[in-house]
């Protein structure tokens, strides 16, 4: 349930940010693409489809936009460095953990179960120096 909450918060923030980029008159092709990519990644995160790929793409896009110093949208959701770092950290966490139980990915591919095999006892060595 907590992965759903993380995906919902970041997905809606990305959709909102992409909407702001697309709602204002784009100053360049880069801001148009940034708005479309943010909107697409946000929708994919909201529904939980291709979650690791969408989260990684959004994180790389956000980092690239910050490094390229693109102009922010009119009402920028990630308006400060701490909020952008916080969002990037959550996106990388989602990319690493996956979509969770309540997602399209879980319905299509099924839930993963990690089975750790029991450890086998180590064979003893008969030629030991300790007697």
Q: Is residue 98 part of a domain?
A: yes
Residue 4's pLDDT band (cuts 50, 70, 90): confident
Do 56 and 27 form a contact (C-beta atoms < 8 A)?
Answer: no
Q: Is residue 121 part of a domain?
A: no
What is the CB neighbour count within 10 angstroms for residue 78? 21
Does residue 49 register a pLDDT over 80? yes
Q: Is residue 44 part of a domain?
A: yes
Q: Is residue 128 part of a domain?
A: no
**Number of domains into which the chain is organized:** 1
Q: Is residue 131 part of a domain?
A: no
70-87 pLDDT, tens per residue?
665 555 666 677 777 788
Structural domain including 100 reads 2-104
What is the CB neighbour count within 10 angstroms for residue 73? 23
Buried b (16+ CB within 10 A) or exposed e, 2-40: ebeebbeebbebbbbbbbbbbeeebeeeebeebbebbbb
Question: How many angstroms separate the CA atoms of 20 and 14, rounded?
Answer: 10
Q: What does the pLDDT average to over 43-66?
A: 85
Question: Which pLDDT score is estimated for 41?
Answer: 92
Q: Is residue 123 part of a domain?
A: no
Q: Is residue 119 part of a domain?
A: no
What the block records as the tokens of 32 is 């148009």
Q: Is residue 127 part of a domain?
A: no
């Amino acid at each position: 349930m907590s992965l759903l909450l993380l995906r919902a918060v970041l997905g809606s923030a990305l959709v909102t940010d992409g909407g702001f980029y697309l709602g204002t008159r784009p100053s360049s092709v880069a801001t148009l693409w940034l708005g479309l990519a943010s909107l697409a990644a946000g929708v994919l995160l909201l529904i939980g489809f291709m979650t690791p790929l969408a989260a990684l793409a959004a994180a790389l896009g956000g980092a690239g936009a910050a490094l390229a110093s693109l102009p922010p949208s009119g009402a920028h959701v990630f308006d400060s460095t701490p909020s952008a770092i916080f969002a990037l950290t959550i996106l990388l966490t989602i990319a690493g953990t996956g979509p969770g139980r309540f997602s399209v990915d879980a319905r299509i591919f099924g839930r993963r179960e990690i089975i750790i095999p029991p450890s086998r006892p180590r064979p003893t060595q008969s030629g030991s120096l300790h007697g």
